[in-house]
Structure 1
Amino acid sequence: MTASHPNSLATYGLFLAWAVHDAEELALGPRWLRENLPMLRERFPGVPEVVWKAAESVDEREFALAVGVMATVVGAAAVAGARTGGRSSFYQGALNGFGLHGLVHLAQAVVVRGVTPGSVTSPLVVIPFTLWARGRLRRAGVLRPAGLRGTVTGLGVAAAATVVAHAVARRLTPRF
């Protein structure tokens, strides 16, 4: 690879790192939430009831489908990054959102004082991969500075993608 093109691991690697991370979330997500919902309700009484009801209703099928929807988004971002030598705004935004969401997982673990779905792979995979890939983009001269606006946008896009993935999954998951 020339100095102007980050290697494909920095672009396609986004999907690989995401898959490792979301495997943890698939393994722990809905069960962890069911088991910890009473503690969460007690610790955070200001959270609106509609949030707790939505959380209670997510089952393994719906969660897995939401992960599948997100796989499409992350995969498309990785491909866009590879096709543009890492220059794609979509790819860089997804990369930034991925790394920032890893920080959110760590904050969640601190708030609940324990392991939460995603908190194990965030410091081991999500954050290190994001920093490494951003370094590759920087050395290739294609990294756009994130800044405060980029950080807020990255978090917003990650949150919106998660909400959309769950909304699609809810719509497609049969209710019994």
Structure 2
Amino acid sequence: MKRTTKVGLGLLAAWAIHDLEEVWTMSATSKAISGKLPKNAPIPAGLRRAGMSQKHVRIGIGFMALVMSTAAVLGVRSEGRAPFFRAALLAFGIHGFGHLALTAAFRQYTSGVATAPTIVIPFWLWARKELAKEGLTDLNWTTALIALSCLSLLPAVHALLYKILKE
């Protein structure tokens, strides 16, 4: 199996393992921390009061499954050269550090923090090293801008789901 194929399929596998943790824990964690968010944070009152429902979490993670599956397929097909694949990989790695920061800020368990340092970040570092052996990097303007767009998808998806589900 080609190195780039392993990285592409690995991204989907690492994401799936990480998001299983989130499926199991995000609703309860969001309820526990939503009231602790800064008062000026643009969070709807219902979300601030009750956190995300399990239905909200499942649909949101399902949407991100489409994004990550697309990235993985593009990664395999392009042998790691697709900018969207490399941007998704970069966003995945950076978001792992976000889980650690969120947990430190709230000084309690937050959804995804168990697999961020054990799956997400180690996979990202390994994948970057493997792609570098092929002369590929995720550190350029194109992938950085796409990665920022990917990271901004998360709050946008949650806001849209909140409006649609009216929970």
Q: What TM-score, normalized by structure 1, do the two folds share?
A: 0.82
Aligned: 1:59 with 2:53: yes
Shift of 1:83: 0.3
Superposed, which structure 2 residues align to 1:1-176 within 5 Å?
6-38=3-35, 40-41=36-37, 44-48=38-42, 50-55=43-48, 56=50, 58-146=52-140, 151=144, 154=147, 156-167=148-159, 169-170=161-162, 173=165, 175=166
Shift of 1:100: 0.3
1:107/1:74 CA distance change after superposition, 3 Å:
same
Where do 5+ consecutive residues of structure 1 fail to align?
Answer: none
Shift of 1:109: 0.7
The DSSP-based 3-state class of the residue aligned with 2:109 is coil
Provide the aligned C-alpha RMSD in A. 2.4
1:59/1:144 CA distance change after superposition, 3 Å:
closer
1:89/1:153 CA distance change after superposition, 3 Å:
closer
The percent identity for this pair of structures is: 30
Q: What TM-score, normalized by structure 2, do the two folds share?
A: 0.86
Question: Aligned letter for 1:133?
Answer: A
Distance 1:138 1:145 in 2: 11
Distance 1:74 1:120 in 2: 20
Contact 1:30-1:63 within 8 A present in 2 as well: yes
The DSSP-based 3-state class of the residue aligned with 1:143 is coil
Distance 1:95 1:36 in 2: 28
Give the paired residue count: 166
Based on CA coordinates, which of the two structures has the bigger radius of gyration? 1
Q: Which runs of 4+ in 1 moved over 6 A?
A: none
1:51/1:106 CA distance change after superposition, 3 Å:
farther
Distance 1:52 1:93 in 2: 33
